[in-house]
């Protein structure tokens, strides 16, 4: 598959090789699964399939870096990281990954960069590609959590409802863990809640 964005490595197989060297077998398989899911979603929602595959493939590229190295990339990134993200180690890989693909793979497509950056927390102003990667990560074939089947169903027929459900799931998980909720997640929740409620009113 040819990727229609600027990057340093020559082809997608080189990127897969890089990921194999950086990730555990389980995480690498997850990355492949997310890329495949993103392609399916992109076809439904008329998004660029090549970009969707690339963004899905590399979304976890820094997931298994040592925390101190991830944190260094987060600080270097200048990506408007809020305090809650800095306090949440589980979120660092997305920010570090966005910075890494720009600096090391020379990916200059900011839609792809933002898709990696916000794939864990979401945001109110997500592009369609960002929405696809956010959902693709949560509904890939290797996911087995409760209600994933229901989320998969909505992902292919009502993307706003699916993202709202995904945000509810993620925020509830954070609350149960007594962790911090980033501002972007709260703003995303409010936006998609508004969209879903509006559609419900229009149907009634």
- Cα–Cα distance, 177 to 189 (Å, whole number): 18
User: Which residue is it, tokens 């102003």?
Assistant: 125
Residue 194 has pLDDT above 90, yes or no: yes
Residue 5 within a domain: no
Q: Give the model confidence (pLDDT) of 100-127 as tens digits.
A: 999 999 899 999 999 999 999 999 999 9
Radius of gyration of the chain, Cα coordinates, nearest whole angstrom:
16
Q: What is the pLDDT of residue 8?
A: 53
115 contacts 55 by C-beta, under 8 angstroms: yes
Q: What is the pLDDT of residue 6?
A: 42
Residue 145 within a domain: yes
188 contacts 128 by C-beta, under 8 angstroms: no
Of 120-124, 125-129, 149-153, 198-202, minimum mean pLDDT range: 198-202
- Cα–Cα distance, 49 to 95 (Å, whole number): 23
**Mean pLDDT of all residues belonging to the chain:** 93
Residue 4 within a domain: no
Residue 195 within a domain: yes
Calculate mean pLDDT across residues 82-111: 95
Q: Give the model confidence (pLDDT) of 19-73 as tens digits.
A: 999 999 999 999 999 999 999 999 999 999 999 999 999 999 999 999 999 999 9
E strand or H helix at 63, and its extent?
none
Tokens of 157: 């027929």
Burial 54-88 (b: 16+ CB within 10 A, else e): bbbbbbbbbbebeeeebbebbeebebebeebbbeb
Domain range for 78 is: 12-203
52 contacts 39 by C-beta, under 8 angstroms: yes
Q: What is the pLDDT of residue 78?
A: 87
The CATH number of whichever domain residue 66 belongs to comes to: 1.10.3210.10
- Cα–Cα distance, 47 to 50 (Å, whole number): 9
Residue 54 within a domain: yes
Q: Number of folded domains in the chain?
A: 1
Residue 184 within a domain: yes
Residue 6 within a domain: no
Residue 96 has pLDDT above 50, yes or no: yes
- Cα–Cα distance, 37 to 114 (Å, whole number): 18
Burial class (CB in 10 A: 0-12, 13-18, 19+), 152: middle
CA atoms within 13 A on the CB side of 25: 0
Residue 7 within a domain: no
Q: What is the pLDDT of residue 4?
A: 47
- Cα–Cα distance, 128 to 52 (Å, whole number): 10
């Amino acid at each position: 598959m040819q990727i229609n964005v600027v990057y340093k490595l020559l082809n997608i197989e080189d990127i897969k090789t890089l990921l194999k060297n950086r990730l555990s077998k389980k995480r690498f398989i997850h990355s492949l699964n997310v890329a495949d899911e993103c392609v399916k979603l992109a076809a439904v929602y008329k998004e660029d399939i090549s970009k969707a595959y690339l963004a899905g493939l590399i979304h976890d590229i820094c997931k298994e870096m040592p925390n101190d190295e991830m944190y260094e990339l987060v600080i270097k990134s200048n990506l408007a990281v809020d305090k809650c993200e800095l306090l949440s180690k589980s979120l660092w890989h997305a920010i570090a990954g966005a910075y890494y693909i720009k600096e090391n793979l020379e990916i200059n497509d900011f839609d792809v960069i933002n898709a990696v950056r916000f794939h864990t927390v979401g945001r109110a102003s997500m592009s369609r590609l960002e929405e696809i990667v956010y959902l693709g990560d949560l509904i890939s074939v290797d996911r087995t959590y409760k209600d994933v089947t229901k989320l998969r169903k909505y992902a292919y027929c009502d993307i706003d409802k699916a993202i709202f459900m995904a945000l509810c799931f993620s925020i509830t998980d954070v609350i149960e863990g007594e962790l911090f909720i980033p501002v972007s997640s709260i703003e995303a929740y409010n936006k998609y809640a508004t969209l879903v409620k509006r559609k419900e009113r229009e149907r009634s």
